[in-house]
Structure 1
Amino acid sequence: MQFPESWLREYCNPQLTTQELADTLTMAGLEVEEMEPVAPPFTGIVIGEIKEAVQHPDADRLRVCQVDVGGPELLNIVCGAPNARVGIRIPCATVGAELPPGEDGQPFKIKIGKLRGVQSFGMLCSAKELGIADDHGGLLELPLDAPLGQNVREYLNLDDTLFTLKLTPNLAHCLSVYGIARELSALTGTPLKQLSFPQAAVAVQDKLPVKIEATDLCGRFSGRVVRNVNTQVKTPQWMVDRLARCGQRSVSPLVDISNYVMFELGRPSHIFDLDKIHGGLSVRWGKEGETLKLLNGNTIKIDDFIQVGVIADEKEVESLAGIMGGDATAVSDDTRNIYIEAAFWWPKAVAGRSRHFNFSTDAGHRFERGVDPEHTVEHIERITALVLEICGTPETQCGPMDDQKPHMPTPKTVQLRVARAAKVIGMAVTQQQCLDALNGLGLPAVVASEGVISVTAPTFRFDINLEEDLIEEVARMVGYENLPTSKPLAPISPKLRAENQRSPFAVRRELAALGYQETINFSFVEAKWEAELAGNADPVKLLNPIASHLSVMRSSLLGSLLQVLKFNVDRKAQRVRVFELGRVFFKDASVVDSDTTVKGFYQPMRVAGLAYGAADQLQWGSTETKVDFYDVKGDVEALLAPLVPVFEPAEHPAMHPGRCARVLLNGKAIGFVGELHPQWRQEWDLAQAPTMFELELDAVLARNVAVFKPVTKHQAVERDIAVVVKEAVTHAQVMDAIRAANSGGILRNAVLFDVFRPKKLKAGEEAAPGSLAQDEKSLAVRLTLGHDERALEETEIETAMQAVLEQLKQSVNARLR
């Protein structure tokens, strides 16, 4: 919110310097983000009038002007501006004047000079040379009644200061100069100038039919017909200057009037060209497929993703409710009859709609935060008065006010406990202090009971809903700088983590030790990722995405990691190993509201990793190999250690059908590990398939509590066996059979250390006698046997070995090789 200090002081003028004024606003929560002068420093520039302008004898583009600056003699000044002509009044820098500093930071001093042989006793100035505009379109032309010889800084009020406020969303009532003045009056006790809105004389009984179909969109709609206005007049300079100092350029008189009242009173309004409206107006929700060309030139199309309010006539949509008018009914130089509209749009009906169409407006910014519904009629009277003053003609006629109030907000009553306020603020406050603070802000406060104050929120305060809101207002009026500094007193008790849990930070350190780097990504992703990589046909959709393609909440971390991989590969990264700990989102009707959950949504934490490129860093000691499934499987085992996971073949939408495994821990599935599906590898244009994993974080955080076990004093015994099984028999089946054998409790471990498969036979070639069949393989397993209390006897060892072989035969039809 930007505005000039002088405009604010018209409504409330406390005895404070500019800096003190800024500090007062900032310490009340209205942060003054920036202060800058309207114009840079300069001296000696006065108002002059060109009495004579003749061609320079030796230069086609120069004129020799005789300039009257209110002195006894005319000044001879050479000027090259294209609009230098007799009769105009302009800024004139006399000899000795100093212009604003240039690029070198030094002021430019005016001296008597010669241009092509003609003496010049000064300089005629443009707005750019004075530092008050960027446009160098010639001399700055002043009104013809500007007093000759008066200092330009004084005449144009260039010693004014521009304030830029950084307002929080709950301060919608301060999005106007008058709203800020109301706050300043409460803060300083300086009287606030009261506004009056005299009613315009009604000369015609014309009314435009308006039907409010959606009361959840529009709670109040006021309007008036004004006929025979002159739109070809020029906007008064005082209004142009004030709009410019609010950051708004002048467009046309009617548009400028509407914008002026918005900055003055916080009331966005719209002025229609009455003759371009077909029949009456209808206030309703837009229908899918309807289009509207806006005043900014954009054409929008209404879809079913989000409800959008519109104002439509009998033929087409004419305006985007609370945001921007349409081009079809825009006022122009040919406009003669107008319809002035001021409405109350429910904040929830406007919020997010501008962002949905990728633009923002001052009107939408105000309406989505809340605009006072009580004074639409008074503000139309203000607009009408300005229209009559600026665009009025002897034939101008005003119609009666049409005011419809189908759904006005219900005033909210909130109670404040003085003791609670003192506790929250951190200093003692009295009941009278609270009453004075609240009433000073225009919040009608009365004593409900001893120590309890009741406040009925006024119509311009949409942010007063809770007791804490009133406490904040009291604190602002007390002044944040006046609050005491007191150290908090609270018992400190350490929160000890259970021994069977580790922290997410420990998981991060473990993955970092395995060579992965952490990434942090948005929780909202492309809908395409959810469909392709997560197989999620019904993701959680965002109502107001920050970007059109980031429209859904993720149910998998893999898409985010692939995006990081793609970003790095496109920048010639050869080896990428990344991981993320993050939340994923699912729809789940069984979830209820609580301190940590949201009704209808399941939001678990997961950990995911991705490896791409070489398995190891570049080195001389070994040949470079590409990372594969088993490398990442080993990383998962290391991450879960000392727990031992089990891997079983599975399918995942993002992973290769034959190179994907489900990870099980204690019989429960906790995630997947596998290569990227060839289809997605091709779509993402990757030279090789990355290997990925994604696990439930809760399962990863769990760990077994360490249990002391003495080291046996007796040496273990190792025996190797080689068994022949069918090719279809898996390693897991073999290990399960070995562990199931009745070994008498002395089997300690079993490790596969060799696999042998026969060479494929050529056509007509026969296998050697006793060799393996083509559908068989030989597995070599090392068994470790031992006893904690004694050495093993040979008979025990042999019995255990036979039990293992017998179990392998029964379970997987294995034979000893």
Structure 2
Amino acid sequence: MQFPESWLREFCNPPLSTAQLADLLTMAGLEVEEMRPVAPAFTQIVVAEIVEAEQHPNADRLRVCKVDAGPLSQGGLLQIVCGAPNARVGIKVPLAMVGAELPPGDDGQPFKIKLGKLRGVDSQGMLCSARELKLSEDHGGLLELPADAPLGTSIRDYLNLDDTLFTLKLTPNLAHCLSVMGIAREVSALTGSPLLQPAIAAVAQQHGEVLPVSIQDTDLCGRFSGRVVRGVNPKAVTPAWMVERLARCGQRAVSPLVDISNYVMFEFGRPSHIFDLDKIHGGLQVRWAKAGETLKLLNGNTVSLDAEVGVIADEQAVESLAGIMGGDATAVSDDTRNIYVEAAFWWPRAVAGRSRRYNFSTDAGHRFERGVDPQNTVEHIERITQLVIDICGGEAGPIDDQQPAMPVRTPVAMRIARAAKVIGMPLTQAECEAVFTRLGLPFVATEGVLTVTPPSWRFDITIEEDLIEEVARVLGFARLPATPPLAPVTARIRPEAQRSRFAVRHALAALDYQETINFSFVEARWEQELAGNADPIKVLNPIASPLAVMRSSLLGSLVQVLKYNLARKAPRVRVFEIGRVFWRDAAIKSSDHSVEGVCQPMRVSGLAHGSAVPLQWSAADRAVDFFDVKGDIEALLSPRKPVFVPAEHPALHPGRCAAVQLDGVTIGHVGELHPKWRQGYDLAQAPVLFELDLDVVQQQPVPEAQLVSRQQSVQRDLALVVSDQVAHDALVAALSADAEGLVRSAVLFDIYKPKQATADLAEGERSLAVRLSLLDDAATLTDDRIDAAVAAAVQRVQTAFGARLRG
């Protein structure tokens, strides 16, 4: 919110300097983000009038002007050579006298005016444009001043260029401060200075025409006021004072009717809209849009509408986006003669987020989605009408005011003892009552409790803590005592059997993965395709229309990161993310760490794409595959031994996907991206992805000390012929299942499979070379016990898989 200090002081003028006023606002929660002068420093620039203007004898683009600077001309006229295209007799312009200093140029040095000659003609000063004075970027000609500007007056005084522009960084709860009057109300409450609220008189009605309006959806619009004004002149000139104030609020002047609407918005915080009455077909309907309807907006964009967007429509088409922007079809123009002025109360929830659907934002939408006072629509139409008549002329009709669903403000109670405890300093009931009185918050007092009914302009007061905040900021944060904390500080010690999330991050980084951080809200398409989630949790107010649902898987975010990197020619991508996912679960109850009906577990997910190893001379280049990422997961979970079981997942290749299990419980999946989604997301090579339960990944068994055996282990190698269908893990498990516990490990060290069947290997068989390690901690193994243990191991795999010793 940007505004000039002079405008604020017209409504409330406390005995404070500019710096003190800025500090007051900041300490009251209205942070002054920037404070700068309207114009940079310059001297000896005054109001002057061009009395004569003749062509330069030696230059086609220069004119020799005789200028009257009033008393500063010392009884004569000053001769100025000027090249501005609008230099003509009768206009008043800024004149830089000899000795004047203009604002610094691009080199940072001030420009000093001296006596000079231009093409042989003396020049006794310089006529200035707005750009040369650093007032705007307009350099199309001289800055023309009003005809009543007094000659010889300093431009700084005449244009009030010593004014200061304030820029406030307002939080969303301060909607009532999105106007000069709203800020003045706060300054009055903070300082006790009187609030000079102008009286708005009713405009005399000169005809009885009323435009019929039908409010069809009261959950969209709670109040709608409008008035017909006939016979306006849209070609009138916006007064200089209004243009100046709009410019100092950061708003460019457009046309008188548009400027008036914008002026009242900055003045009282009331966005409004002015329709060309003759372009409206029949009456107006205030309703939710219908699927398939479109609207060409004032900014030139044509948008498609749906049932979640509010509109104002006539009998033929949609004419305006409710509370956001008007339509091009009914916009005022130079041919407009009759207008319809509209001021309405739109429910904040009906406007919030709608602008972002169409990738733009407006001042009106910014205010309506935070809450605009519903009580003053009629008064503000009177204010707009009076300005229209004063500037553009016209005849006003009666105001049509419909109030089908005005908001009801629920009283909020504040306990004095509770406020003192939260703020951290002693409070009396009298102090709190004085604060609410200064803020204009009506209240009912009982012993130790103040019950406030929020006024119509305060949409942010809904709970007790809101009132406590008001007390704290009005009394002043400087009053807060320095109170040391009373609670004991106890270190939170992480269990030894649990590693931190940072340790997980470091482990993945050591495996050559880079961490990414992504939004928790994603495209609905990702949820349906990559997570199989047909009913994701929708975001009520998305920051962008595609990011409309909460994610139940991290895979979609990583695929998007991959596409982003591939678009920038990254040859090898290995990324991971640790984040929260969301899905519906009726068993979840609301608490400090949970939301009722929503499960929010943490996940760790990774993606590998491109070469298995960076380009190097010692290893052949090959694409990363399932087994590379499987090895990364084993390293991440080490020393625990995960089991990989064939499985299916919506995002992964049905034949190249496995469930990751620990102790018989599935903790996630790993696999190659499904061919359908690889093609759908336009990927030349399928990446390999995994997603695991972070809580389980963080578990780490505590090492237990064991005595080193005094006996020596024995190794025996077996060549076992088995079917191709026998899994390695199952074979090793069977070999190790020794009742005596002598077989300590079974390690596969060779695989042999001929190209065609041989005498000892049939079609569909292979030879697996396995090394058994045997050990008895209590006694030395004898040959008989070793042979018996080996024979028992062979018998187990023979029984389970039909294995036999080769040869």
For the 8 Å contact 2:736–2:744, the answer to whether it is kept is no
* Distance verdict in 2 for CA 1:707–1:97, change over 3 Å: closer
- The percent of aligned pairs where both chains have the same amino acid is 68
* Distance verdict in 2 for CA 1:347–1:623, change over 3 Å: closer
Partner of 2:22: 22
1:452 aligns with 2:441: no
Report the alpha carbon displacement of residue 603 of structure 1 after superposing the two structures with TM: 2.4
Partner of 1:161: 164
Partner of 1:180: 183
Partner of 1:133: 136
Partner of 1:790: 779
* The 10-residue stretch of structure 1 (490-499 or 367-376) with the greater mean CA deviation from structure 2: 490-499
For the 8 Å contact 1:203–1:398, the answer to whether it is kept is yes
For the 8 Å contact 2:712–2:780, the answer to whether it is kept is yes
For the 8 Å contact 1:49–1:87, the answer to whether it is kept is yes
In 2, Cα distance between equivalents of 1:261 and 1:423:
42
In 1, Cα distance between equivalents of 2:562 and 2:324:
41
Q: Secondary structure at the match of 2:361?
A: coil
Partner of 1:262: 265
Structure 2 stretches lacking a partner, 5+ long = none
In 2, Cα distance between equivalents of 1:668 and 1:611:
25
In 2, Cα distance between equivalents of 1:628 and 1:383:
69
In 1, Cα distance between equivalents of 2:179 and 2:112:
40
Equivalent residues in 2 for 1:115-154 (5 A)?
115-154=118-157
Q: Secondary structure at the match of 1:403?
A: strand
TM-score by length of 2: 0.95
Describe the superposition over 1:740-760 as per-residue Cα deviations: whole angstroms up to 9, x where unpaired.
4x5433222211121111222
In 2, Cα distance between equivalents of 1:579 and 1:786:
42
Q: Secondary structure at the match of 1:129?
A: coil
Task: Report the AA paired with residue 403 of structure 1.
Answer: D
Partner of 2:576: 579
* Distance verdict in 2 for CA 1:211–1:574, change over 3 Å: closer
For the 8 Å contact 2:356–2:544, the answer to whether it is kept is no
1:517 aligns with 2:514: yes
Partner of 1:52: 52
* Distance verdict in 2 for CA 1:404–1:617, change over 3 Å: closer
Q: Secondary structure at the match of 1:800?
A: helix
In 1, Cα distance between equivalents of 2:474 and 2:300:
45
Partner of 2:502: 505
Report the alpha carbon displacement of residue 624 of structure 1 after superposing the two structures with TM: 6.0
* Distance verdict in 2 for CA 1:115–1:703, change over 3 Å: closer
Report the alpha carbon displacement of residue 657 of structure 1 after superposing the two structures with TM: 3.7
* Distance verdict in 2 for CA 1:473–1:614, change over 3 Å: same
In 1, Cα distance between equivalents of 2:218 and 2:632:
60
In 2, Cα distance between equivalents of 1:284 and 1:384:
26
1:420 aligns with 2:423: no
- Within the candidate set 424, 428, 431, 1:430 is matched to 428
Describe the superposition over 1:278-326 as per-residue Cα deviations: whole angstroms up to 9, x where unpaired.
111111111111111112221111035xx11111111111111111111
Partner of 1:311: 312
1:278 aligns with 2:289: no
Equivalent residues in 2 for 1:196-235 (5 A)?
196-235=199-238
Task: Report the AA paired with residue 313 of structure 1.
Answer: D
Task: Report the AA paired with residue 457 of structure 1.
Answer: P
Describe the superposition over 1:78-109 as per-residue Cα deviations: whole angstroms up to 9, x where unpaired.
11111111111111122222211212222222
Report the alpha carbon displacement of residue 579 of structure 1 after superposing the two structures with TM: 2.1
Aligned length: 803
Report the alpha carbon displacement of residue 613 of structure 1 after superposing the two structures with TM: 4.7
Report the alpha carbon displacement of residue 625 of structure 1 after superposing the two structures with TM: 5.9
Report the alpha carbon displacement of residue 375 of structure 1 after superposing the two structures with TM: 1.1
In 2, Cα distance between equivalents of 1:365 and 1:721:
77
* The 10-residue stretch of structure 1 (101-110 or 13-22) with the greater mean CA deviation from structure 2: 101-110
In 2, Cα distance between equivalents of 1:454 and 1:566:
56
Partner of 1:758: 754
In 1, Cα distance between equivalents of 2:686 and 2:599:
31
* Distance verdict in 2 for CA 1:286–1:562, change over 3 Å: closer
* The 10-residue stretch of structure 1 (478-487 or 150-159) with the greater mean CA deviation from structure 2: 478-487
Report the alpha carbon displacement of residue 466 of structure 1 after superposing the two structures with TM: 1.0
In 1, Cα distance between equivalents of 2:78 and 2:584:
81
Partner of 1:728: 725
Partner of 1:490: 487
Equivalent residues in 2 for 1:706-785 (5 A)?
706-740=703-737, 743-760=739-756, 770-785=759-774
* The 10-residue stretch of structure 1 (672-681 or 462-471) with the greater mean CA deviation from structure 2: 672-681
In 1, Cα distance between equivalents of 2:227 and 2:420:
49
1:807 aligns with 2:796: yes
Equivalent residues in 2 for 1:550-589 (5 A)?
550-569=547-566, 571=568, 573-589=570-586
In 2, Cα distance between equivalents of 1:570 and 1:380:
53
Report the alpha carbon displacement of residue 623 of structure 1 after superposing the two structures with TM: 5.7
Q: Secondary structure at the match of 2:398?
A: coil
Q: Secondary structure at the match of 1:664?
A: strand
Task: Report the AA paired with residue 754 of structure 2.
Answer: P
* The 10-residue stretch of structure 1 (680-689 or 779-788) with the greater mean CA deviation from structure 2: 680-689
In 2, Cα distance between equivalents of 1:495 and 1:47:
72
In 2, Cα distance between equivalents of 1:567 and 1:278:
49
In 2, Cα distance between equivalents of 1:499 and 1:598:
30
* Distance verdict in 2 for CA 1:604–1:734, change over 3 Å: same
Task: Report the AA paired with residue 220 of structure 1.
Answer: R
Describe the superposition over 1:200-249 as per-residue Cα deviations: whole angstroms up to 9, x where unpaired.
11222221111111111111111122222222211111111111111111
In 2, Cα distance between equivalents of 1:301 and 1:691:
38
Partner of 1:633: 630
In 1, Cα distance between equivalents of 2:684 and 2:780:
56
In 2, Cα distance between equivalents of 1:55 and 1:712:
113
For the 8 Å contact 2:310–2:350, the answer to whether it is kept is yes
Structure 1 stretches lacking a partner, 5+ long = 761-766
In 1, Cα distance between equivalents of 2:672 and 2:319:
54
Describe the superposition over 1:566-589 as per-residue Cα deviations: whole angstroms up to 9, x where unpaired.
444555555443322112233344
Partner of 2:639: 642
In 2, Cα distance between equivalents of 1:377 and 1:567:
52
* The 10-residue stretch of structure 1 (790-799 or 115-124) with the greater mean CA deviation from structure 2: 790-799
Report the alpha carbon displacement of residue 500 of structure 1 after superposing the two structures with TM: 3.4
In 1, Cα distance between equivalents of 2:680 and 2:293:
36
Report the alpha carbon displacement of residue 618 of structure 1 after superposing the two structures with TM: 6.0
Partner of 2:67: 67
Partner of 2:94: 91
Describe the superposition over 1:142-170 as per-residue Cα deviations: whole angstroms up to 9, x where unpaired.
12121111111111111111111111111
In 1, Cα distance between equivalents of 2:456 and 2:41:
43
1:4 aligns with 2:7: no
1:171 aligns with 2:168: no
In 2, Cα distance between equivalents of 1:467 and 1:541:
29
Partner of 1:467: 464
Report the alpha carbon displacement of residue 677 of structure 1 after superposing the two structures with TM: 4.2
Task: Report the AA paired with residue 441 of structure 2.
Answer: L
Partner of 1:323: 324
For the 8 Å contact 2:746–2:770, the answer to whether it is kept is yes
Task: Report the AA paired with residue 778 of structure 1.
Answer: S
For the 8 Å contact 2:750–2:770, the answer to whether it is kept is yes
In 2, Cα distance between equivalents of 1:178 and 1:682:
58
- Within the candidate set 606, 610, 631, 2:603 is matched to 606
Q: Secondary structure at the match of 1:20?
A: helix
Describe the superposition over 1:34-80 as per-residue Cα deviations: whole angstroms up to 9, x where unpaired.
11111111111111111111111111111111111113111111111
Partner of 1:35: 35
Partner of 1:360: 361
* Distance verdict in 2 for CA 1:142–1:613, change over 3 Å: closer
Partner of 1:764: none
In 2, Cα distance between equivalents of 1:357 and 1:676:
33
Partner of 1:763: none
Describe the superposition over 1:321-350 as per-residue Cα deviations: whole angstroms up to 9, x where unpaired.
111111222222222222211111111111
